[in-house]
Structure 1
Amino acid sequence: MTIAKRLALLEGAEAAVFVASGMGATALAHLAVLRPGDHLISSEWVYGTTHKLFQGEFGRLGIDVSFVDPLEARQWKRALKKTTRAIFVETPTNPLLRVLDLEPIAALCKTEGLALVVDSTFATPVNFRPLEHGADVVIHSATKYLNGHSDVIAGAVVGSEAVIEEVKKLMRIWGQAIDPMAAWLVERGMKTLVVRVERHNQTALAVAQWCSQQPQFAAVHFPGLPGHKDHEVAKRILNGFGGMLGVELKGGTRASERFLRALTIAAHAPSLGGVETLVSEPRLTSHAMLSPEERAQAGIPDGFLRFSIGLEDADDLIADFAQALAQL
C-alpha cells in the first residue's frame, strides 16, 4: 500500500498525495481550488510563512486574501465577496493551541459553495479528521508527526480524487514531487504513527498538568487542561489533546534564555512532532516578523516557549524542566 493511500484511509478521504514540503502542500492545495481573480478568507491564526504566502505571493498571482478572527462567526460572513472561493484554517493553532470548531465554518462553506481547507498538522488523523467535520481539503506538514523522526522535509494534501489530481498536475509543474528517500522515510514513520501519537498525548498531558502547578509559569496553553479556552470543544471533537503545549515564563526573554540553557534532555530547536522533545521560542521562529508589542497583543509575550513533547519518559522530562526552573 502506498503512503498516499494509507494517509487517505487514515483521513477517510478518496485520495492523497505527498509533496516536497509542508509549504509546498499549502501552496498547491490552494492553487488547486483557486484561480486568478478569486478571493480566499483565512484565519488570522496561521503559520507565519503561510501568512507570507497569502499576503505576498498570492497577490502576485492575482488571488486576494482576507484575514479574520476565526472565533468571530460574523467576521467570516462579513469577509465574503462575490469572488470568494475558499476558506482556510489551522487547528490546533500554533503556538497557542487554540482548537477551532469546524462545523459552523463548514456550514457556511456549504451554503456559499466554498471549499474549506484545513491544516491539521498538529492533530494528525489519529487525533482529528477534518473531513468528518465538513472540510474538503486537508493539509499536513509531513515533516512533523507523520514522519515523526525529524529527518525529512515533506508535505501532504488529502481530499477528493478531483482535487488531488489537480494538486498532482501542479506538483509536476512547480517541481514539488517528494523524493524517493523522503517517501521511504515517511513510510517508516507512518508505521508507528498511532503508537507515537498516543504516547505524545499521554506524556504532554502529564507535563502540562505539572507545568500548570509551577509558580514560574504565568500561563500554560494546552487544550487538555480544564482552564484552556477551548477545553470543552477539544474534549468534544478531538480523540487526543496532542503533544504540543505552550508556556509563558515569568521574567520574559532573560528567563527563557536561562531556562533553555539549563535543559539537559529537551533540545532548543524549532521543529516539532519528532521522537525527541524540542523547545522553541516563537519570538525567534514563527512570529519573528512581529514586534514585541505585536506578539504580546497576539497572546505570545516574550518568555513564551513552545514545547513539542517527544517519547521520553514523562517523569524524566518533568525532572529536566524542574531543574531548569530551579536555575532561574
Structure 2
Amino acid sequence: PIDMGVNIVVHSVTKYLSGHSDVLGGATVSTADERVEIMNTAVYFGGVMQPFDAWLTIRGIKTLEIRVNRHTENSHAIAEFLEDHPKIREVYYPGLKSHPQHNLAKKQMKGFGGMVSFCAGKSDKDGVDFINNLKIIKRATSLGSTSSLIQASGSMLYLEFTEEEKRSIGINPGFVRFSPGIEEEKPEVAAPEGTKKTVKRVRKKPTTTTKGAADEAEKKE
C-alpha cells in the first residue's frame, strides 16, 4: 500500500504474518517522517509486544511467502467450486471474473488472497447450519492460520448491529467467511452426506462435501 501512495498502514500481526494462531499483535508501517511520532505515542498506550511474541512473529515471517501462496491457491480453487454450486447464492473472491473489482485486483495484486466469503442459504440460520455440519474445519473468528477456519459472520459477529446495518456493510443473509489453511491438498469445504466417511480430500478441487452441508442446511429450513 505504501508503494501506492498510502502514508500509514495498520496491519494485524495476529493473522498472516505470524500465521500460526499463537500471537496477538499489530503493526504500524509508515514512511520515516511519521515513524518516530507513532513510536513515541504507542509506548504510552502500552502497545509494546512481548519479546516471545515478537520472536514468534519473526519466525512466522520466514515462511510468509510460502504460506500465502498456499492460502491463495486453496482459496481460489474453493471459490471457483462454490461459484458453480447451485445451493450457494453468492461468492465473494476477487480472483473470480464475476467479482466487480476483479480487474482492479489483477492490476494491484500478485495473487488474489486467502479469504473466501459466500452466502449459504437464505438466512443467517442457514449459515449457522452450514458450519455446524462441518467435520474437520474449525469454527473461529480468526483467519490466516495454517488451519482452515470458518465463521457465520451474521450470527457470530456484529451482534449489536441491526439487520439493516449488517446488510449495509455487505453481511447478507447466510453470510459465511472462510479462511482456507495450508493443507497439502485442497481442503473439503464441509461435511459428508450422511455417511461415516468423515474426511475426503482431493488434489485439484474440493469434492462434493460442500453439497453435503448445503443439503443438511436445506433440510433444517
TM-score norm. by structure 2 comes to: 0.85
**Cα deviation per residue 1:140-165 (whole Å; 9 max; x = unaligned)?**
11000001101110101111223121
Q: Are 2:201 and 1:316 equivalent residues in the alignment?
A: no
In structure 2, C-alpha distance between the alignment counterparts of 1:296 and 1:304, rounded to whole Å:
10
Match of 2:47 among 176, 181, 189: 176
Range with greater deviation from structure 2 (193-202 or 297-306): 297-306
Give the drift of 1:296: 2.1
- Partner of residue 17, structure 2: 146
- Partner of residue 64, structure 2: 193
**5+ residue gaps in structure 1?**
1-129
Give the drift of 1:292: 1.4
- 2:120–2:130 contact (8 Å) kept in structure 1: no
Give the drift of 1:234: 0.3
In structure 1, C-alpha distance between the alignment counterparts of 2:48 and 2:18, rounded to whole Å:
16
In structure 2, C-alpha distance between the alignment counterparts of 1:264 and 1:285, rounded to whole Å:
19
1:1-328 equivalences under 5 Å are: 130-312=1-183, 313-314=185-186, 316-317=188-189, 318-319=206-207, 320-328=209-217
- 1:292–1:302 contact (8 Å) kept in structure 2: no
- 2:124–2:152 contact (8 Å) kept in structure 1: no
Q: Secondary structure at the match of 1:327?
A: helix
Task: Call closer, same or farther: CA 1:136–1:285 in 2, change over 3 Å.
Answer: farther
**Cα deviation per residue 1:155-194 (whole Å; 9 max; x = unaligned)?**
0111122312112111221111000111011011101000
Give the drift of 1:315: 5.0
Give the drift of 1:285: 4.6
**Cα deviation per residue 1:212-236 (whole Å; 9 max; x = unaligned)?**
0111111000000000010010011
TM-score norm. by structure 1 comes to: 0.58
In structure 1, C-alpha distance between the alignment counterparts of 2:3 and 2:124, rounded to whole Å:
41
- Partner of residue 197, structure 2: none
Moved over 3 A (4+): none
Q: Which amino acid aligns with 1:160?
A: T
- 1:282–1:288 contact (8 Å) kept in structure 2: no
- Give the total of aligned pairs: 199
Q: Which amino acid aligns with 2:122?
A: G
User: Identity rate of aligned residues, in percent?
Assistant: 34
Q: Which amino acid aligns with 1:316?
A: E
**5+ residue gaps in structure 2?**
190-205
